[in-house]
Amino acid sequence: RKEVEQDPGPFNVPEGATVAFNCTYSNSASQSFFWYRQDCRKEPKLLMSVYSSGNEDGRFTAQLNRASQYISLLIRDSKLSDSATYLCVVNMDNFNKFYFGSGTKLNVKP
Amino acid sequence: DGGITQSPKYLFRKEGQNVTLSCEQNLNHDAMYWYRQDPGQGLRLIYYSQIVNDFQKGDIAEGYSVSREKKESFPLTVTSAQKNPTAFYLCASSTTGGYGYTFGSGTRLTVV
């Protein structure tokens, strides 16, 4: 079983739609959780950290469910510029070892 | 501006050659990492270093070597023992606690 699993998609949604991605992780002792965004042929960039209480940044909301070992990302009012691959990242063994999911591809259509 | 620089952006290697990918950071980060990404797949950890003159194998270290002689630099050598080296290679750095995790812009390596 992979340490971090994501639905690869693609999720094809119209502009203005709300879309949600989930990511499951295998190690219940995981300490830190993040969502990264990766544009085609570019490096991943931090979108947001995921806190136990949930957190929101504009149109983006991240949630953590430790009991079920998953994190989620909700995007409201999708924009064309949101089209990218979204990577779930989990810190497993120690602070310096991060595991990346294979990513969920989002296509926002006009 | 502080950042992490990878070079070259594109690299072509002949069969049987060793090549070295450069990674330099001026963020004063203690930890540095090398990842490999294949099309449609996530990042896989090759090597990481938490301090100068020390580094650890990641999940796919075979066929790769690294050095950490300076805090700012963490070069990766792809040796001829790596049978399928064509991939996108990403270097990253962070503080000791894993904060400020930042990626370089990557090197695309192709075997010709």
The answer to whether B50 contacts A103, with C-beta atoms less than 8 Å apart, is no
Strand partners, B48: B33, B56
DSSP string, A14-63: ETT--EEEEEEES-TT--EEEEEEE-TTS--EEEEEE-TT-EEETTEEEE
The C-alpha R_g of chain B, in whole angstroms, comes to 13
Q: Which residues of B touch A45 (CB under 8 A)?
A: 103
Mean pLDDT of B29-45: 90
Where is mean pLDDT largest: A53-57, B4-8, B94-98?
Answer: B4-8
Mean pLDDT of A21-38: 90
For A81, residues 6+ apart whose C-beta sits below 8 A from its C-beta are: A108
Mean pLDDT of B41-56: 92
Of A4, A43, A99, which is closest to B104 when you measure between CB atoms?
A: A43
Where is mean pLDDT largest: A1-10, A37-46, B34-43?
Answer: A37-46
Nearest CA in chain A to B49: A96
Asked whether the CA dihedral B43, B88, A36, B68 is positive or negative, the reply is positive
Of A8, A96, A100, which is closest to B48 when you measure between CB atoms?
A: A96
The answer to whether A87 contacts B42, with C-beta atoms less than 8 Å apart, is yes
